């Protein structure tokens, strides 16, 4: 039997699952931008009454028929791949005896992927805009969960010693507040993308300042605590939030000036900038999740102050 820490496969599968999910986010964002969520009828059986093709045996000529169909079917195929990798991660984690915490999060990742796939499937079957919105929002939470598995499988994270750092308590609070603000901004962005609502646009723009400020405050605290690892992660956070703000502005210009608004014909500029904005939103969320984990792992405080105490046992 493989002993704990000797098998490289849990780490490889955690990384592979996360990497496979990135195209899933890009393709899902493209489907939303192109308004192609119903480009293919059916879930496991496609084009019902007009071919009745099994999902994994969809004819290539239909798959490549147009950009909407290509993005939608590719999205489903990558979803299947992520599901299979998630199952393998659970199996490899149990076999390698990686510890209760990592096994638990591998199961949480698999449950999130299954729930996300079900939401997407029922969205198509019910042709439901509400489920489309939920699918977009939950996708970001699912990807963040997969990122948790990547962090937990990092040997450096498991071996990280706890030290007393200046401002540790305030940094912990700032990390949780930044995480909540970033995810709330993602929810508002999904509301805007799925409705084109003027109120959603105003709320998304207004809340962008709050979410950006929360991330900047967190990154500043991480840089000032005199810890090399946290300082490096702070610079990564600042770079991602800057890129996200720029992409948001470019997407807004593309939508309003090039495409002629949210109800206009989707332009190439809108497709590229809006999808990139969704992807970098995921990167910001995941980097914030990682910051929360590293901060709570690194900073020595009373255990009752830790909102992620279970991560301490990850080895």
**pLDDT at residue 167, rounded to an integer:** 72
Last residue of a domain, one of 153, 182, 208: 153
Last residue of a domain, one of 131, 153, 175: 153
Q: Are residues 279 and 242 in the same domain?
A: yes
Q: Are residues 302 and 170 in the same domain?
A: yes
Q: Which domain holds residue 169?
A: 160-315
Q: How many residues are there in the chain?
A: 315
**pLDDT at residue 315, rounded to an integer:** 46
d(Cα 157, Cα 99) in Å, to the nearest integer? 14
The CA-atom distances, in angstroms, between 226 and each of 164, 201, 208, 221, 288 are 11, 39, 29, 10, 19
Q: Are residues 2 and 102 in the same domain?
A: yes
Q: Check whether 169 has a pLDDT greater than 90.
A: no
Q: How many structural domains comprise the chain?
A: 2
Q: Are residues 23 and 83 in the same domain?
A: yes
Q: What is the mean pLDDT of residues 203-218?
A: 95
Q: What is the mean pLDDT of residues 229-243?
A: 93
**21-25, 26-30, 228-232: the lowest-pLDDT one:** 228-232
Q: Are residues 271 and 256 in the same domain?
A: yes
Q: Are residues 268 and 128 in the same domain?
A: no
Q: Check whether 23 has a pLDDT greater than 60.
A: yes
Q: What is the mean pLDDT of residues 117-121?
A: 93
Q: Are residues 24 and 141 in the same domain?
A: yes
**32-41, 198-207, 271-280: the lowest-pLDDT one:** 32-41
Q: Check whether 302 has a pLDDT greater than 70.
A: no
Q: What is the mean pLDDT of residues 214-219?
A: 96
Q: For the chain, give the mean pLDDT.
A: 89
Q: Are residues 85 and 113 in the same domain?
A: yes
**pLDDT at residue 131, rounded to an integer:** 92
The CA-atom distances, in angstroms, between 143 and each of 86, 215, 226 are 12, 19, 30
pLDDT band at 284 (very low <50, low <70, confident <90, very high): very high
DSSP bridge pairs for 80: none
Give the DSSP H/E element, type plus range, for residue 46: strand 45-46
pLDDT band at 308 (very low <50, low <70, confident <90, very high): very low
**pLDDT at residue 262, rounded to an integer:** 85
Q: Are residues 143 and 201 in the same domain?
A: no
Are the C-beta atoms of residues 171 and 165 closer than 8 Å to each other? Answer: yes
pLDDT band at 1 (very low <50, low <70, confident <90, very high): very low
pLDDT band at 301 (very low <50, low <70, confident <90, very high): low
Q: Are residues 1 and 63 in the same domain?
A: yes
Helices (H), strands (E): how many in the chain? 10, 2
Q: Are residues 66 and 191 in the same domain?
A: no
**pLDDT at residue 208, rounded to an integer:** 95
Which carries the bigger pLDDT value, residue 171 or residue 301?
171
Q: Check whether 164 has a pLDDT greater than 70.
A: yes
Q: What is the pLDDT of residues 38-53, one digit of tens each?
A: 888 888 899 877 778 9
**pLDDT at residue 303, rounded to an integer:** 41
Q: What is the pLDDT of residues 57-108, one digit of tens each?
A: 999 999 999 888 999 999 999 999 999 999 999 999 999 999 999 999 999 9
**pLDDT at residue 166, rounded to an integer:** 67
Q: Are residues 164 and 136 in the same domain?
A: no
d(Cα 112, Cα 117) in Å, to the nearest integer? 9
Q: Check whether 125 has a pLDDT greater than 60.
A: yes
Which carries the bigger pLDDT value, residue 143 or residue 167?
143
**pLDDT at residue 38, rounded to an integer:** 80
């Amino acid at each position: 039997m493989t002993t704990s820490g000797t098998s490289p496969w849990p780490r490889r599968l955690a990384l592979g699952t996360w990497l496979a999910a990135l195209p899933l986010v890009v393709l899902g964002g493209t489907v939303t931008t192109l308004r192609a969520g119903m480009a293919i009828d059916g879930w496991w059986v496609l084009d019902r009454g007009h071919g009745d093709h099994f999902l994994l045996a969809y004819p290539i000529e239909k798959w490549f028929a147009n950009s909407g169909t290509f993005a939608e079917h590719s999205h489903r195929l990558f979803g299947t791949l992520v599901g299979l990798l998630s199952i393998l991660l659970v199996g490899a984690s149990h076999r390698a005896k990686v510890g209760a915490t990592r096994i638990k999060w591998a199961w949480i990742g698999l449950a999130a992927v299954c729930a996300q796939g079900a939401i997407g499937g029922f969205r198509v079957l019910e042709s439901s805009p509400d489920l489309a919105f939920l699918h977009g929002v939950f996708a970001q939470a699912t990807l963040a969960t997969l990122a948790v598995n990547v962090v937990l499988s990092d040997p450096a994270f498991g071996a990280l010693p706890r030290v007393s750092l200046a401002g540790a308590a305030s940094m912990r609070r700032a990390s949780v507040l930044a995480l909540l603000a970033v995810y709330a901004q993602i929810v508002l962005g999904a509301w805007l993308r799925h409705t084109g609502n003027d109120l959603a646009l105003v709320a998304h723009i207004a809340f962008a300042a709050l979410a950006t400020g929360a991330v900047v405050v967190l990154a500043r605290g991480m840089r000032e605590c005199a810890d090399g690892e946290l300082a490096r992660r702070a610079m990564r956070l600042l770079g991602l939030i800057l890129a996200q703000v720029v992409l948001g502005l470019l997407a807004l210009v593309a939508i309003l000036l090039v495409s002629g608004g949210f109800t206009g014909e989707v332009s190439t500029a809108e497709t590229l900038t809006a999808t990139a904005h969704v992807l970098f939103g995921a990167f910001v969320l995941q980097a914030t999740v990682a910051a929360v984990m590293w901060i709570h792992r690194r900073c020595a405080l009373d255990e009752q102050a830790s909102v992620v105490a279970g991560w301490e046992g990850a080895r």
